[in-house]
Amino acid sequence: MKKKTTVLFDFDGTIMDTNDIIVKSWQHTFRTLEGKERSVEEILATFGEPLHITMERILPGFDTDKAIEIYRSYQFNHYHELIELFPGMEKVITELKQEGYKLAVVTSRLRNSTETGLNKFDLTEYFDVIVTADDTKKHKPDPEPVLIALEKLGSNPQEAIMIGDSMFDVLCAQNAGVEAVLVSWAMATDAQGKLQEVKPEYVIEKAEELWTILR
């Protein structure tokens, strides 16, 4: 394996435990538009997919822009209080930076809320590049988000790894020629039935296990 110099992180479900706020935002949207909630399993299966794509697919009878506005309004009002870092993630990120790795966030979330989350835990300064849904025309699993991050970092695919929690992250990385690391602690890992068809190069159960791969 070529020595890795670059580590790309997904945001939701990987760095940040946003599971609760995402589920609650969806249930609020369903209650508002349909008058009832849906199963948590259905929501979890959408994790990692850009919001507008999911909205068009699972709420086809409603105006997508209106549905997104309902979802984001709820999330805006509750986001800061409900998000938390996954255990060990802060330590790993700071140590990677100290050892000279180039770091990036590659997420389907919008820039404002991504930076809000990173700023809450004083992590923004550790990332050389942040690529969000605002920065790409195509989204995961298309390779464009990862390729944009690599270009900005001055890295090639062979020297990078991508850490994520969903099939969208794994496929995005692999489609860009980057090795994928799937985290097993996120809810999306068990909820997306197609994950069994996706074969990441590595699976980790704790953030600290990333060092085993890099060394």
Enumerate the active-site residues: 10
Cβ pair 160, 178 in contact under 8 A: yes
Rounded distance between C-alpha atoms, residue 134 and residue 180, angstroms: 23
Q: Which residue from 64, 77, 84, 85 is spatially nearest to 24, judged by alpha carbons?
A: 77
User: What is the DSSP code string of 172-201?
Assistant: HHHHTT-EEEEESSSHHHHH-GGGGG---S
The DSSP H or E segment spanning 126 is none
Residue whose tokens read 């923004």:
124
